[in-house]
Amino acid sequence: MKLVTWNINSVRIRMDHVKNLVDTYAPDVICFQETKVRDEQFPLIELQALGFDHIHFSGEKSYNGVAVLSKIPFEATDALSWCGRADKRHVSVTLQGGVELNNFYIPAGGDEPDAVKNPKFAHKLQFLDEMTAWCQGRVEAGQKRIMVGDFNIAPLETDVWDHKKLKNIITHTAVEIDRLEKLQAAGHWVDAMRMHILPEEKCFTWWSYRARDWLASNKGRRLDHVWVTPDLQNKVNSCDVLLDIRGLEKPSDHAPVLVDITL
């Protein structure tokens, strides 16, 4: 299975980019974050025309929104709310064969890494805590699960362009990294990207729109992640960050991440 996770930053605006991705890489499953569209305006017919007969989505106007597009049939679908908000940050599907796939858009957290002064940061930490508690209650031996999405956290020093300059900047603070590590441990998750892109290598999936020469300056962060449970760990064959899609005209600020997994 070729699986793509991508913060598309408005699916309707970037349909040409989706077609380019599909034509070039032929993914079997695509997970979008930040679709930014109400469900009644979601481009369902256009995406089905690209070969994705099975689509599960949850969205709202202008903000957030997640979706799973699949050529593989679904056995079940779900969408959970977090922190008492219906802000469309999660969908899940069970693919034919019993593999559960969760797609998350974790809150960005605003600008100030202080949960007392900054409600957006407090929301992010609460969201991570709820995810951790949820994972702890669902650990099952032999269960095959995949979790993907824009986690809005770059945990490793090599996940940011400059660790010293960014260690007090939201996405790379110690408190966020600690929360992410607790979440990973709670679900026995394995970082599939870092199985194939070694932890000592720089790896980024997001670059600010402010940098016109984004690839030359390469001041990026790895905010997008693919995690698998241990039973799938040895089934992950490859991982690639699709820089060419990030380089298209009027792109998302995130590059898609492509992993190949044997199911």
What would the pLDDT profile of 134-168 be if each residue is shown by its tens digit? 999 999 888 999 999 999 999 999 999 999 999 99
Q: Please report the pLDDT score of residue 212 as a whole number.
A: 83
Q: What is the mean pLDDT of residues 116-128?
A: 98
Q: Please report the pLDDT score of residue 177 as a whole number.
A: 98
Cβ atoms of 183 and 240 closer than 8 Å: no
Q: Please report the pLDDT score of residue 167 as a whole number.
A: 97
pLDDT over 90 at 211, yes or no: no
- What architecture is domain 2-261? 4-Layer Sandwich (3.60)
| Cα–Cα separations (whole angstroms), residue 13 to 3, 56, 189 | 22, 19, 33
Our CA dihedral for 244, 248, 251, 254, rounded to 10 degrees, sits at: 10
pLDDT over 90 at 25, yes or no: yes
For the stretch 60-75, pLDDT in tens is 999 999 999 999 999 9
Q: Is the dihedral of CA 6, 21, 24, 255 positive or negative?
A: negative
Q: What is the mean pLDDT of residues 19-47?
A: 98
| Residue 9 amino acid letter | N
For the stretch 190-206, pLDDT in tens is 999 999 999 999 999 99
Angular region, 33: left φ>0, alpha ψ -120 to 50, beta rest: beta
Q: What whole-number percentage of the chain has pLDDT above 70?
A: 100
Q: What is the DSSP letter of 254?
A: B
Angular region, 63: left φ>0, alpha ψ -120 to 50, beta rest: beta
Q: Please report the pLDDT score of residue 72 as a whole number.
A: 98
| Cα–Cα separations (whole angstroms), residue 201 to 128, 147, 159, 204 | 26, 22, 8, 10
For the stretch 84-108, pLDDT in tens is 999 999 999 999 999 999 999 999 9
Q: Please report the pLDDT score of residue 11 as a whole number.
A: 98
Beta bridge partners of 85: 82
Q: Please report the pLDDT score of residue 141 as a whole number.
A: 85
Nearest-10 crossing angle of helices 119-136, 174-186: 20
Residue with tokens 């824009």: 150
Cβ atoms of 252 and 9 closer than 8 Å: yes
Residue 80 is encoded by which pair of tokens?
């959970």
- Nearest CA to 146 out of 60, 235, 220 is that of 235
Q: What is the mean pLDDT of residues 26-30?
A: 98
Q: Please report the pLDDT score of residue 142 as a whole number.
A: 87
**Confidence at 109, pLDDT banded by 50, 70, 90:** very high
Q: Does residue 205 sit in helix, strand or coil? A: coil
pLDDT over 90 at 179, yes or no: yes
